[in-house]
Amino acid sequence: MLDRVEIMLGKLDAHPDTAVRETVRDLVRALLDFHQAGLGRVMELAADRGDLRSLLAGDPKIEPLLLLHGLHPEQLSVRVERALEKVRPYLFSHGGSVELVGIEEGRIRLRLQGSCNGCPSSAETLKNSIEEAILAAAPDVEEIEVV
């Protein structure tokens, strides 16, 4: 779905009429503001029902919208740690583990530990698995660095 949006934005940018481009951009901003207000209200109403907030935040179609509008109820660090917990059994089966070193301005710093560290092909495979898990749980991460 986001691919389709990207294509349409590309077509808009190529439109020769500046007034049309600006009007459409204003329309998109207004619609995004409208959706943000509605989703924000939904999350407010769900605040008393933690199970409902978790259900909404964990839904694969709703979570990206919450992230887009800055309404996700869980901190980035919580989502990253949850992703790491899911991938740790796989890492452990390969003689390794991963440690979250820090998070700063959307940049995640990780440290690979154990026998997977130092073996280039194995480390790269494990690094890719870690990155996939993190980006699935926290698509708002801007960069993942392994130290």
CATH of residue 109: 3.30.300.130
Which residues have a Cβ under 8 Å from the Cβ of 138 and sit 6 or more positions away?
A: 76, 79, 80, 83
Q: How far apart are CA 112 and CA 92, in angstroms?
A: 11
Number of domains observed in the structure of the chain: 2
Q: Cβ(98)–Cβ(83) under 8 Å?
A: no
Residue at which a domain ends, from 19, 34, 68: 68
> What is the pLDDT at residue 119?
59
Quick one: 12 and 63 in the same domain? yes
**Residues comprising the chain, all counted:** 147
d(C-alpha 144, C-alpha 130), whole Å: 10
Does one domain contain both 98 and 121? Answer: yes
Q: Does 124 share its domain with 64?
A: no
Co-location of 81 and 131 in the same domain: yes
> What is the rounded CA–CA span in Å between residue 2 and residue 10?
12
Q: Are 55 and 84 members of one domain? A: no
pLDDT surpassing 70 at residue 19 = yes
Do 53 and 89 fall within a single domain? no
Q: With cut-offs at 50, 70 and 90, classify the pLDDT of residue 18.
A: very high
Count of CA atoms in the C-beta half-sphere (13 A) of 129: 21
Same domain, 53 and 82: no
User: In 3D, which of 67, 60, 86, 84 has the Cα closest to residue 142?
Assistant: 67
Average pLDDT for 29-38: 94
Q: What is the pLDDT of residues 56-103, one digit of tens each?
A: 988 888 988 998 898 999 889 999 999 999 999 988 888 888 999 999
Mean pLDDT of 49-59: 86
Q: Are residues 8 and 42 in the same domain?
A: yes
What are 73's two structure tokens?
């109820």
Domain with 89 in it: 76-146
Q: What mean pLDDT value characterizes the chain?
A: 87
